[in-house]
Structure 1
Amino acid sequence: MTTQTQTITERRVCTTDLGTPARFRDLLAAEWIKLWSLRSSYWALGGGALTVIGINVNSARSNADRLADQPPLPPAPPPGFPDLPQMVFDPLATAFVDPAWQLLMVIAGSVGAIAVFGEYTSGLIRTTFAAVPARRAVMTAKATVLAVVMLALGAVVAGTSFGVTQAILRDHNGLSLSDPGALRAVAASTLLAPLCAFVGMALGALIRHAAGTVAAVAGVLLLLPALFQGETYRWVAEIGDAMPLTAWNALVQNPESNDGMGLYPVSVTEAWSVFGGWSLVAVIIAVTVVHRRDV
């Protein structure tokens, strides 16, 4: 195909194999059907949501039982120990237990990856691009469907985890959404799912192999931040601060607690910028790679 012919093809309006214009809502409907036609989507999203909520609820119940048997803390440090720190229980942390949300990150990233590499491994991508030559429109529709589904998943998991855990801890300073940091933590956890799905989508477009893509999802989202921990060198810490997991940890941090802030803390503005930057770059990579690479 010559450059001129390729340019003309790229500029064509999306058409179906029947020759009728394919509206964007038609592409959305097609991507919706593709996603939910996979039985793995139901198991991964449903089972993952229940598992994450279950881990958080179990954490809340364990803490409630422990606090019920624990003598109340004195209102001030004991005499003779004015600088002795007091261990204060943070109920917000029980709704956002790290292992639970790391599991959600891998699940969301894997579903996003499957939405792309699944078509390549099955050969369906050839049919898709034959019916709709405008690849950018196809990938944009895929990203839109993923965003809606993952946003709903994140909202359900974050809202349920927060609501149930704080109800269990109502006798131990359980929080409401109006308390400092609570709404921000729920919002960040809601947006974490679509962010990870976009990262998985980009990796799926780059690698196009099931095992390799899923391994890359876990590596980028979970293992890569671990490589940039520590505070010996500022540049290492700053790279680590630019990771989605680190940004999420900063956003779910109780603003009334200074635990885990470190020498180079991530500000709220920086953390939200990480969320937006990773999502945007991931979508651009997925759209660009699929448009430029051969099927």
Structure 2
Amino acid sequence: MTAPTTMQTVDADVRVTESRARFSDLLAAEWIKMWSLRSTFWAFAVSLLAVLAVSLSTAYGDSTRYPGMDAGQQEYFRTFGAVGDSFPMGSATFMALGAGAIGAITMLSEFTTGMIRTTFTAVPARRSVMVAKVVVVTAVTTAFGALAVLCSYAGVQWILSGQDAAAGLGHPGVPQLLAASVVLAPVCALIGMAMGALIRHSVLTIIATITLLFVLPSLLNGQQRLGATILHTLVLQAWQRLTYDDATGDPFPWTTTGAWTVLAVWTVVAAAVTVFSADRRDQ
């Protein structure tokens, strides 16, 4: 009499085991979700074009001015200017804005439509779902950052090489500039995701992300200790410290190690907020 009960128990266990999603399945699902949004492709494309437009126009302008510089100015440009032109502040701004928007879109695409409830019903392990989102967005935006930075560097140095003012990969400051600029994309994307996970409203999320990345730094006075201290904890200021080698004239200088630490902390905190916010509510 116990055989049917035993068989039913075994069948139930098999069904539960089969229905449990593997993490690789979650990654595949999040990859499909991300690229099923038309806005994802356009956000990447527009961001890349904006980055390259700023970088190449800056390099072209400097290359036309280079012959008119005196010997000291030319030497200074070859040492520092050619490095900065590889990925100028304007390019970093568009990179941060585009990546932040992509992170926010990836998170909000399900929350604003209510589809997140379907996702959590299919996969009750909410944190696993959010970790998969974080992994996919981090990987994709890192690849995007690498593509944008390398294209920018190659195009800029090609333009400057016409004046014999290019900075090769072994030039002091170039490797750190390239690495910091690549990292900028996933860090800003994760911040956008964290804002979306907390706010869950499209317009307010974009406003909050822009305020944190761009507006807040403009409101602070770096000539005062409190303002400088806060600035040293912000993302774009950390990137700027890493990409502009010298802190000469800065009344409150800080180290490159500190700047890398700031980027790492923002990455960890933003990822943690995204993952653990899933326990609060579905919408």
Please, what TM-score do these two structures have when normalized by structure 1?
Answer: 0.85
Report the secondary structure of 1:173's partner residue. Answer: coil
Report the secondary structure of 2:112's partner residue. Answer: helix
Q: Is the Cα–Cα contact under 8 Å of residues 101 and 206 in structure 2 kept in the other structure?
A: yes
| 1:130 to 2:121 alignment | yes
Equivalent residue runs for 1:61-140 within 5 Å: 61-68=60-67, 70-73=68-71, 88-89=76-77, 90-140=81-131
Output one character per residue of 1:22-70: Cα deviation in whole Å (capped at 9) or x when no partner. Answer: 00010000000000000111111012112201210111011101113x0
Deviation at 1:229, TM superposition (A): 2.9
Paired position in structure 1 for 2:229: 238
Deviation at 1:19, TM superposition (A): 5.2
Deviation at 1:92, TM superposition (A): 1.2
Report the secondary structure of 2:153's partner residue. Answer: helix
Structure 1 distance, partners of 2:151, 2:254, is 27
Q: Is the Cα–Cα contact under 8 Å of residues 118 and 210 in structure 1 kept in the other structure?
A: no
Deviation at 1:274, TM superposition (A): 0.6
Paired position in structure 1 for 2:252: 264
Corresponding letter in the other structure for 2:23: F
User: May I ask how many residue pairs the two structures share in their alignment?
Assistant: 266
Structure 1 distance, partners of 2:26, 2:124, is 12
Report the secondary structure of 1:140's partner residue. Answer: helix
| 1:216 to 2:204 alignment | no
Report the secondary structure of 1:169's partner residue. Answer: helix
**In proportion to residue count, which structure has more helix?**
2
Structure 2 distance, partners of 1:106, 1:99, is 11
Output one character per residue of 1:78-100: Cα deviation in whole Å (capped at 9) or x when no partner. Answer: xxxxxxxx993211111222122
Structure 1 distance, partners of 2:82, 2:92, is 16
Q: Is the Cα–Cα contact under 8 Å of residues 17 and 131 in structure 1 kept in the other structure?
A: no
Output one character per residue of 1:215-238: Cα deviation in whole Å (capped at 9) or x when no partner. Answer: 111111111122223212x12211
Output one character per residue of 1:98-138: Cα deviation in whole Å (capped at 9) or x when no partner. Answer: 12211111110111011111101111101100000111100
Deviation at 1:74, TM superposition (A): 5.6
Structure 1 distance, partners of 2:110, 2:72, is 61
Structure 1 distance, partners of 2:114, 2:72, is 67
Paired position in structure 2 for 1:180: 172
Structure 2 distance, partners of 1:173, 1:87, is 9
Corresponding letter in the other structure for 1:278: W
Deviation at 1:265, TM superposition (A): 2.0
Paired position in structure 2 for 1:4: none
Name segments (4+ residues, structure 1) moved above 2 Å: 16-19, 71-75, 86-89, 227-230, 292-295
Which consecutive unaligned segments of at least 5 residues does structure 2 have? Answer: 1-14
Identify which range, 166-175 or 108-117, moves more after superposition. 166-175
Output one character per residue of 1:231-271: Cα deviation in whole Å (capped at 9) or x when no partner. Answer: 12x12211111100100001111x3x555x51112311001
Corresponding letter in the other structure for 2:115: L
Structure 1 distance, partners of 2:235, 2:170, is 25
Which consecutive unaligned segments of at least 5 residues does structure 1 have? Answer: 1-15, 76-85
Corresponding letter in the other structure for 1:106: L
RMSD between superposed Cα atoms in Å: 2.1
